[in-house]
């Protein structure tokens, strides 16, 4: 009988036939069924189909390569195999910004949206300012306001100002009111001191009860304190004081510069405000106040130092004095001590994340893994928060309707702290915004950014969103308590940064929020800005215009992410800066907003105990196979 054409794969004796009916000896011995090798049929593919698959492969390869480069996970010049096995591979550094001013970020996002498929490079400019109040510097007051001053007015102005801004911002010596009393009793005082009284009167008008936002019923058509400010600006010759032998006269100049910087910041003159504080700091160093142990000099030095740091970081400006160079003791005031410690962290953010001075590289090197720098800064911020004395902690909850006016300065302190969280984390959010916009330009697709983030990155982004939620919560509390002023110092920075963060989070399809949705939070934030703009603050109106333009720029992306209702809301609402077809009650919307308890946002040092090393060997970006332990920011 003819042997089978194909032998069983178990058959080793080819002399015997092997088939399913007549198994060979080997199959019988193993008590196994004959098995035959089946040849695979050749795959047939047309040239057209082959070319299509090649194009699709190349497209996916390009997309993966692009995402790897933007997310900093891989070195694009290496093969995937070598990337995974390269033990020394580190995360590509974040693209360091020149500044993190929220309005400048809006401008950069607008440039990215309109740049086409190839996004324009980062071009953050600190010089961007609103010019709606530039006329202030071209006119002169009609009368000398110093003749209208009185001790009663000075006391009222001082009380108004110190309710909102105190140590850490206000560069006024503790004996200011005593010197005012001596002035009105006829004792001779330096001219600079009378100018300082005028600027205190100007700020007193800014923070007067009549400027409370929720109490204003008609549009304010004048700038509070303008006459005093214009008079001082037109008559004060600061250069003369720099060569005076009388140190007390120069100290008056230092403090006057600080108060004028605060008023300039209210007018959105960022660079001028920084310039005044820089000059004040230089004068203080020339008098060696940074090494003085005089009590009044301590307060003047540290207040000037803090104000300079807080204004410099908002525009990414270089700093003059390192903390180690100052041997001046901290004053006994815990509030000022807390501001000084926060100013030290502010300096780290400015130097390590936003500075571009190559001379700083030896002292504060920019580590290749600057995600770790961000983590360490966050560690310091939460350490600062946890070390505050009890009376400086926030204690107001949603069921407490009254906020004591004396607590407003504590709210200002915490708003500054939350703004530093924004400054530290916004580079991460901007990195993923660039990925989203580039993907949409090239592929007309939107990404869910949360899927591209490692657990640690996602926790930091959620921390930023939580801090924005708490910022909004604080503004609602002070608004209802009637301690929210129309021209408040730094309030615009905090609110605009919060709204910009909410908008970018929506564009990235990040839906994490403890209490209210991000969309609802942003709506209330827009209502806040609109109410202040409609009641006479033109700077708020300009910032609202930038934010609404960003919403229009993101419209296609937001609609693809099912935020069409929010886009329609922005287009239909009758904003004070744009015409609309619908009329919303912004005041009622703010009053009806659900306010979470502040206890819902408690972060402790235990949440960040592993931050010093958790980024050393961690991959970032989409598709990470490493199981990195998340950092729990919520207690």
Write out the two tokens for 290: 């940074």
**CA–CA separation, 290 and 417 (whole Å):** 24
* Whether 454 and 540 share a structural domain: yes
* Residue 585 located in a structural domain: no
**CA–CA separation, 427 and 354 (whole Å):** 10
* Interval 231-248 mean pLDDT: 67
Q: What is the mean pLDDT of the chain?
A: 77
The domain boundary residue, chosen from 356, 386, 409: 356
Q: What is the pLDDT, as a whole number, of residue 261?
A: 95
* Residue 372 located in a structural domain: no
- Give the domain range for residue 198: 134-356
* Whether 389 and 500 share a structural domain: yes
**CA–CA separation, 10 and 26 (whole Å):** 7
**CA–CA separation, 394 and 603 (whole Å):** 13
Q: What is the pLDDT, as a whole number, of residue 506?
A: 94
**CA–CA separation, 180 and 167 (whole Å):** 19
* Whether 523 and 443 share a structural domain: yes
* Residue 32 located in a structural domain: yes
* Residue 56 located in a structural domain: no
* Whether 259 and 277 share a structural domain: yes
Question: Comparing C-alpha atoms, which of 158, 164, 154, 155 is closest to residue 483?
Answer: 164
Asked if residue 320 has pLDDT above 60, the reply is yes
Q: Is pLDDT larger for residue 548 or for residue 12?
A: 548
* Whether 317 and 409 share a structural domain: no
Decide if 603 contacts 463 (C-beta within 8 A). yes
Q: Which conformational region is residue 110 in: left (phi greater than 0), alpha (psi within -120 to 50 degrees), or beta?
A: alpha
Q: Which conformational region is residue 187 in: left (phi greater than 0), alpha (psi within -120 to 50 degrees), or beta?
A: beta
**pLDDT single digits (tens) 86-145:** 332 334 446 556 778 888 888 888 888 887 666 666 555 555 678 889 899 888 887 889
Q: What is the pLDDT, as a whole number, of residue 167?
A: 72
Contacts for 407 with CB less than 8 Å, ≥ 6 apart: 396
**CA–CA separation, 140 and 125 (whole Å):** 31
* Whether 308 and 393 share a structural domain: no
249 C-beta neighbours (distance < 10 Å), count: 15
* Whether 141 and 118 share a structural domain: no
Question: Comparing C-alpha atoms, which of 490, 511, 619 is closest to residue 558?
Answer: 511
* Whether 329 and 432 share a structural domain: no
Q: What is the pLDDT, as a whole number, of residue 96?
A: 56
Q: What is the pLDDT, as a whole number, of residue 84?
A: 28
* Whether 537 and 558 share a structural domain: yes
358 C-beta neighbours (distance < 10 Å), count: 7
* Residue 364 located in a structural domain: no
Write out the two tokens for 506: 């929506």
* Residue 139 located in a structural domain: yes
* Residue 62 located in a structural domain: no
19: domain CATH number is: 4.10.240.10
Q: What is the pLDDT, as a whole number, of residue 526?
A: 94
Q: What is the pLDDT, as a whole number, of residue 249?
A: 76
CA 622 to chain centre: 24
* Interval 562-578 mean pLDDT: 87
Asked if residue 214 has pLDDT above 70, the reply is yes
Asked if residue 564 has pLDDT above 90, the reply is yes
Decide if 531 contacts 586 (C-beta within 8 A). yes
Contacts for 444 with CB less than 8 Å, ≥ 6 apart: none
* Whether 164 and 313 share a structural domain: yes
Tokens 């935020």 correspond to 563
**CA–CA separation, 283 and 258 (whole Å):** 12
Question: Comparing C-alpha atoms, which of 378, 436, 412, 432 is closest to residue 610?
Answer: 378
pLDDT bracket for residue 69 (50, 70, 90): low
Element holding 443 (H helix, E strand): helix 408-443
* Residue 51 located in a structural domain: no
Q: What pTM was computed for the model?
A: 0.78
**pLDDT single digits (tens) 355-389:** 654 333 444 444 345 677 888 899 999 999 999 98
pLDDT bracket for residue 296 (50, 70, 90): confident
Query: Domain count of the chain?
Result: 3
**pLDDT single digits (tens) 157-212:** 999 999 898 877 887 877 899 999 999 999 989 888 999 999 999 999 999 999 99
* Whether 123 and 142 share a structural domain: no
Q: What is the pLDDT, as a whole number, of residue 537?
A: 94
* Whether 397 and 511 share a structural domain: yes
């Amino acid at each position: 009988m003819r042997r089978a054409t194909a032998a069983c794969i178990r058959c080793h004796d080819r002399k015997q036939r092997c088939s399913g009916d007549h198994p060979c000896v080997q199959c019988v011995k193993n008590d196994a069924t004959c098995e035959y090798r089946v040849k695979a049929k050749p795959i047939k593919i047309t040239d057209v189909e082959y070319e299509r698959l090649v194009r699709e492969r190349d497209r996916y390869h390009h997309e993966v390569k692009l995402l790897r480069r933007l997310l900093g996970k891989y070195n694009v010049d290496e093969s995937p195999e070598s990337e995974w096995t390269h033990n020394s591979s580190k995360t590509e550094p974040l693209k360091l910004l020149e500044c993190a001013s929220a309005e400048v970020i809006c401008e950069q996002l607008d440039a990215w949206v309109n740049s086409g498929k190839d996004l324009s490079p980062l071009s953050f400019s600190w010089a961007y300012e609103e010019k709606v109040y530039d006329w202030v510097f071209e006119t002169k007051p009609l009368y000398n306001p110093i003749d209208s001053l009185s001790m009663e007015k000075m006391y009222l102005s001082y009380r108004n100002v110190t309710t909102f801004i105190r140590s850490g911002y206000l560069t006024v010596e503790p004996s200011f009111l005593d010197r005012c009393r001596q002035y009105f009793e006829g004792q001779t005082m330096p001219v600079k001191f009378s100018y300082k009284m005028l600027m205190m009167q100007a700020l007193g008008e800014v923070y007067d009860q009549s400027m409370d936002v929720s109490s204003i019923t008609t549009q304010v058509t004048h700038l509070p304190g303008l006459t005093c400010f214009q008079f001082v600006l037109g008559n004060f010759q600061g250069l003369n004081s720099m060569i005076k032998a009388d140190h007390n006269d120069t100290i008056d100049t230092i403090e006057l510069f600080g108060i004028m910087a605060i008023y300039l910041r209210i007018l959105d003159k960022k660079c001028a405000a920084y310039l005044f504080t820089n000059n004040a700091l230089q004068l203080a160093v020339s008098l060696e106040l940074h090494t003085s142990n005089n009590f009044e000099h301590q307060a003047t030095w540290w207040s000037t130092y803090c104000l300079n740091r807080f204004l410099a970081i908002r525009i990414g400006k270089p700093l003059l004095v390192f903390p180690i160079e100052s041997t001046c003791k901290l004053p006994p005031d815990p509030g000022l001590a807390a501001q000084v410690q926060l100013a030290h962290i502010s300096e780290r953010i400015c130097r390590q994340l936003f500075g571009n001075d190559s001379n700083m590289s030896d002292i504060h090197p920019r580590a290749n893994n600057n995600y770790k720098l961000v983590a360490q800064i966050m560690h310091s911020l939460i350490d600062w928060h946890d070390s505050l004395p009890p009376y400086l902690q926030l204690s107001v909850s949603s069921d407490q309707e009254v906020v004591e006016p004396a607590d407003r300065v504590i709210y200002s302190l915490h708003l500054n702290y939350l703004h530093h969280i924004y400054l530290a984390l916004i580079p991460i959010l901007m990195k993923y915004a660039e990925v989203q916009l580039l993907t949409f330009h090239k592929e007309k697709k939107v990404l869910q950014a949360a899927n591209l983030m490692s657990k640690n990155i996602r926790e930091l982004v959620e921390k930023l969103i939580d801090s924005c939620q708490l910022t909004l919560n604080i503004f609602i509390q002070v608004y209802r308590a009637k301690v929210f002023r129309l021209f408040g110092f730094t309030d615009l920075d905090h609110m605009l940064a919060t709204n910009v963060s909410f908008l970018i989070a929506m564009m990235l399809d990040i839906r994490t929020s403890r209490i209210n949705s991000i969309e609802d939070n942003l709506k209330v934030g827009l209502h806040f800005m609109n109410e202040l703009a409609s009641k006479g603050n033109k700077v708020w109106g300009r910032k609202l215009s930038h934010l609404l333009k960003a919403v229009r720029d993101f419209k296609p992306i937001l609609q693809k992410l099912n935020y069409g209702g929010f886009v329609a809301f922005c287009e239909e609402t009758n904003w004070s800066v744009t015409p609309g077809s619908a009329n919303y009650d912004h005041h009622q919307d703010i009053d009806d907003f659900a306010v979470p308890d502040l206890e819902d946002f408690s972060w402790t040092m235990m949440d960040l105990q592993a931050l010093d090393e958790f980024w050393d060997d961690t991959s970032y970006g989409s598709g990470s196979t490493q199981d990195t332990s998340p950092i729990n920011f919520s207690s």
